[in-house]
Amino acid sequence: MMDALGQHRLLGGAFVLAITQFCASVAGLVNQRTLNVTFPGVQKEVVDVYLSSFRLSDMMFQMTIMAGFSVALVPLLARYKADEKKEDMSALLNGVMGMAALLFGIVALVVAQFFPTIAPHLVEFEGESLELYIFFGRLALLSNFLFVFGNAFGQYLITIQKYWVYGLTPIIYTAGTILGTMFLTPYYGAYAPMIGTVGGAVAYVLFRFLAVRFSGYRFAWKLWHPDIRELGWLMLPRMLALGALQLELLFFDKLASGLDIGSVTINANARNFQSVIVGVAGIALAQSAYSLLSQAAAKKEVNRFWIYLKKGIGLLLLLTIPGAVALYFVSPIAASLVGLSEFLPVFAATLGMYAISIPFESVNHLLLRSYYALKETTIPAVFSVLNGLTAIIVTWTLVPAFGIYALAVGFTAGQIFQLVGLAVLLPMKVRKTMLTSSSPFVSAQGDR
């Protein structure tokens, strides 16, 4: 009975997240089309600059904030939720959020001050494009500072399984960029998309705050909580992993910005279409399974843990393999949707190469959360770093001969390498953690 109920919750949560992720992906595609249509031809460099300007800020955010939020905050919150200790949940979230905002705020201010010196080393833009990149990069730091609060509230929503609000708020954020581009461009020109993005970030935080507030959360200014020590140790390996991924994306943009105008945009749009299927299938199901895997790990229910994982992988392969094939054949439609028909041959080939990575990346999302449910972050971190290094090495080797196509090939190679490593070592980790009573990660009462 328990397994049936758990599987029902897994599929129910995955269904909600799949719908909202799909809608968010559609909003992202609308956003890309709006940008590409608003800034056509040689103006496409504005879009290149906009897309590139987030990379450094995103790398900082992922390493300093999401490294902790994504691997440890949900299990720590779930530990209090299991005992219905809402006050303790609020205290933990306030302490973690306050400390995260302080740390990221200080780092962001320092980077913003020295960004004119840093920027020329990150991209190949020159002149007015470089100046625009610097301005956008500073506002990207502000946007990510707001995301410290928005993502903290998001982890709370995942813990209490309020998936609708969690999934719909990214659409609100993207709508900010769309509306800013459409209505502010006549007044602010190239600056309009970023103004809209910051406005969307503000709305994103407000909606999530209201959602958690009405779900029992109580806000208070705090800069510490005793559980931060445990979170800190767990996040250290993840910092390396996320840093490697963001460095890979930063490296890709640097290479693409030195190719023909529009290369950054073509690569980003192809990757975005690929991520639609990964998001709808891989991320949605992995997020839905995360809490259930954590509970199974806490109670040392090995069979239940493997049931969730195997069913998840089976569903992912069933959805993503046909999806990857279909994506390649609809590349002309995809190019038209985002206003890139003039680049169709290059776009279609790039999209086809990215499509190959879809099943591998989707399963990786589920495998990573399986490790996090066991409170294991080192193994995922090692293979995430190796994923990034593999992608960078393959891309660097192939780009002189294959240009923009090398980016997709390198990305796929990294995903395959990571999946093999994670899959081989997971059974050993399950045996060590769940079948050993003296495990340092799981208490007898259950940490989830």
Q: Are the C-beta atoms of 346 and 300 separated by less than 8 Å?
A: no
What is d(CA 361, CA 70) in angstroms, rounded to the nearest whole number?
17
Q: Are the C-beta atoms of 380 and 368 separated by less than 8 Å?
A: yes
When pLDDT is cut at 50, 70 and 90, the band that residue 441 belongs to is very low
Residues 270-287 have pLDDT tens digits of: 988 898 888 878 888 887
When pLDDT is cut at 50, 70 and 90, the band that residue 12 belongs to is low
- Is the pLDDT confidence value at 403 over 70? yes
What is d(CA 262, CA 345) in angstroms, rounded to the nearest whole number?
13
| For range 51-79, the mean pLDDT | 83
| For range 168-181, the mean pLDDT | 96
* Ranges assigned E (strand) in 71-218: none
What's the predicted TM-score (pTM) here?
Answer: 0.72
> pLDDT value at position 443?
33
Residues 324-358 have pLDDT tens digits of: 999 989 999 999 888 888 888 999 999 999 999 99
Contacts within 8 Å (CB) and 24+ apart, 101-105? 101/145, 101/148, 101/149, 102/223, 103/64, 104/60, 104/61, 104/64, 104/65, 104/144, 104/145, 104/148, 105/145
Residues 208-242 have pLDDT tens digits of: 999 999 998 999 988 888 888 888 777 777 777 77
Q: Which of 185, 191, 154 is nearest to 172 (CA)?
A: 154
| For range 402-418, the mean pLDDT | 94
Higher-pLDDT residue of 173 and 244 is 173
- Is the pLDDT confidence value at 359 over 90? yes
Residues 190-207 have pLDDT tens digits of: 999 999 999 999 999 999
Buried b / exposed e along 69-101 (16+ C-beta atoms within 10 A): bbbbbbbbbbbbbeeeeeebbbbbbbbbbbbbb
> pLDDT value at position 406?
93
- Is the pLDDT confidence value at 68 over 80? no
> pLDDT value at position 159?
85
When pLDDT is cut at 50, 70 and 90, the band that residue 446 belongs to is very low
Higher-pLDDT residue of 9 and 258 is 258
Q: Where are the domains of the chain?
A: 39-239, 259-436
Mutual orientation of helices 358-373 and 302-329 as an angle, nearest 10°? 160
| For range 103-130, the mean pLDDT | 93
Task: Give the percent of the chain with pLDDT over 70.
Answer: 93
> pLDDT value at position 196?
97
> pLDDT value at position 10?
54
> Cα dist. 164→11, 249, 255 in Å?
14, 29, 38
| For range 293-318, the mean pLDDT | 85
- 403, with CB counted inside 10 A (0-12, 13-18, 19+), is middle
Q: Which of 168, 153, 175, 160 is nearest to 20 (CA)?
A: 168
* DSSP-assigned letter for residue 160: T
The four Cα atoms 272, 372, 380, 430 give a dihedral, to 10 degrees, of -130
What is d(CA 385, CA 397) in angstroms, rounded to the nearest whole number?
18
Task: Give the percent of the chain with pLDDT over 90.
Answer: 45
- Is the pLDDT confidence value at 94 over 60? yes
The token duo for 146 is: 């707001």
Cα first-last separation, the chain: 20
When pLDDT is cut at 50, 70 and 90, the band that residue 185 belongs to is very high
Sign of the torsion formed by the C-alpha atoms of 38, 42, 48 and 49: negative
> pLDDT value at position 342?
84
Other residues' Cβ atoms within 10 Å of the Cβ of residue 111: 16
Sign of the torsion formed by the C-alpha atoms of 149, 155, 157 and 163: positive
> pLDDT value at position 118?
94
> Cα dist. 399→121, 317, 408, 415, 416 in Å?
19, 30, 10, 18, 19
Residues 69-93 have pLDDT tens digits of: 876 788 788 888 877 888 999 999 9
- Is the pLDDT confidence value at 58 over 70? yes
